[in-house]
Amino acid sequence: MDVSVDLTKCQSYAQCVLEAPEVFELGPDNKARVLAGSVTPDNEKFILAAADLCPMQAILVAE
């Protein structure tokens, strides 16, 4: 699974951080970013839930 954040869409709502704190954090620019090494099979369901919850549809998931 490939996970990225479209920084042009992210509006720093942090829903992703609340849903999947092991995967997403807000960077110094206040935009979400994916923590290195966090895209693991165990975290997939949290990543998909976060992508669903993002009000800006800014989380991109590809298989």
By the criterion CB under 6 A, which residues form the site for ligand SF4? 5, 10-16, 32, 54, 56, 58-59
Length of the chain: 63
- Choice between 56 and 61, CB closer to ligand SF4: 56
Q: CB of residue 61 vs ligand SF4: minimum separation in angstroms? A: 12
What Rg value do the Cα atoms of the chain yield, rounded? 10
CA quadruple 62, 44, 53, 34: dihedral positive or negative?
negative
Closest contact distance (angstroms) between CB of 49 and ligand SF4 is: 11
Whole-angstrom distance, CA of residue 10 vs CA of residue 45? 21
Q: How far is the CB of 55 from ligand SF4 (least distance, A)?
A: 6
